[in-house]
Amino acid sequence: MEAVAPMPEDSQDGAPPVLIRSGSRLGLGAWQVSWRLIALIAILTLAVIGFGGARISAAGNAAVGDQHVEQLASLGNAIAGQHGLVPSMEDEAGVLAEYVAEGRPESASDLVLPQANQAVTNLAAAEVESLTSKLGSGYPQQVQAAVTTVDEQIQQIKDLRAEALRTQAPALNVIQAYTDSADSLLSLDDQIAATSGDPQLSADVRALGALSRAENSAAEARAILDAVLTRGNWQADEATVLSEVNVQQQTEIAQFQADVPDSEATDYAVTVSGAPVIMANQMLAAAVLDGQTGVLPSNPAGSGFSTALRTWQEDMTYEINQMRQVEQNLLNSIQARSQVLHLQATHAATDDWIEMLAVMAAVLGLAVFAGWKSSPSRRIHWI
């Protein structure tokens, strides 16, 4: 039925009433004020939920990503830290290389030191396995692949030991097998910042990868020359591989220094320095230069040790330990940065929730006010 409005008072008497169409009852003009306000409030509510939900979802995803970074940083520390799995394997490889160079003696006393190193490696491997078991499936594909590689390398440690202790494989084969396994483990370092867009963290992770590979190369060089000096002669390919390892180490150090601020590059130069480092590098340079001709590096003057073997072992181990110290400092920095990013993302997600709830409360208040204004005693009619 159409609404009928009376004619104004100045209309002629007896004139028929005029019908004024106000439109369909479903049209906006037929709505009471309260319903108009309710429609507006509903639109605002949907907009708040849509926009706020998107912000909360983005902040939540960022928090989860930064939590993943924090977890991967902890795993990276367990792998490459001073007391991590890779350093333990490097030390174990050096001891086994010397054991092989001695001809794999059968006496129990000769096996005590290798077994002690193996116990340290086993503890480090158990820690890494504990951390990888806590990682879910929400990581990017490349991260999951790196974690799978880590688990596979841990399972192969027994095979590495068997090759050293129960076969006639030359020392170089044993050393390279351990080095390759350590390189595979270190691939996890490159994935620490995979779920983070933070430039500082990404730069630190790149620097860590380069430094870890440089330190692994230094440990390989230590094991090779240790075996040579223990045996008293060079075997096939040892001089060639030693030269290649030395080049790789210098390349990775240069990459590390390019990825870090000048202050950190200076810190590395100061930390990895001193008489032991100078003598170790002197012996390594001599071995690279003369190894192809079968000449052994001599004991540097003033070394403080009676044999070239002892000097090399002590001084190169000192250099490696200093490199590991810088590496650990970098790992600590990465872990600290990952924790800050995770905390910031969590706070951002919480703030977004609070903001959306506040807006929803304001909309609800407006709805209550509109309901009061449109009560029967205050209703306004529209034509």
> What rounded mean pLDDT belongs to the chain?
82
For the chain, the domains span 64-189+197-348
CA distance 133 to 49: 37
Tens of pLDDT, residues 122-137: 999 999 999 999 887 7
Burial degree of 320 (CB within 10 A; 0-12, 13-18, 19+): buried
pLDDT of residue 380: 47
Q: Does position 212 have pLDDT exceeding 90, yes or no? A: yes
DSSP three-state, residue 198: coil
Cβ neighbours around 86 below 10 Å, total = 30
Tens of pLDDT, residues 144-159: 999 999 999 999 999 9
pLDDT of residue 168: 92
pLDDT of residue 236: 93
**pTM of the entire structure?**
0.75
How far, in Å, are 34, 207, 368, 380 from residue 76 at the CA level? 61, 13, 55, 70
Tens of pLDDT, residues 16-37: 555 445 555 555 455 455 555 5
Tens of pLDDT, residues 257-277: 999 999 999 999 999 999 999
pLDDT of residue 137: 77
With CA atoms as reference, report the closest residue to 295 among 232, 354, 249.
232
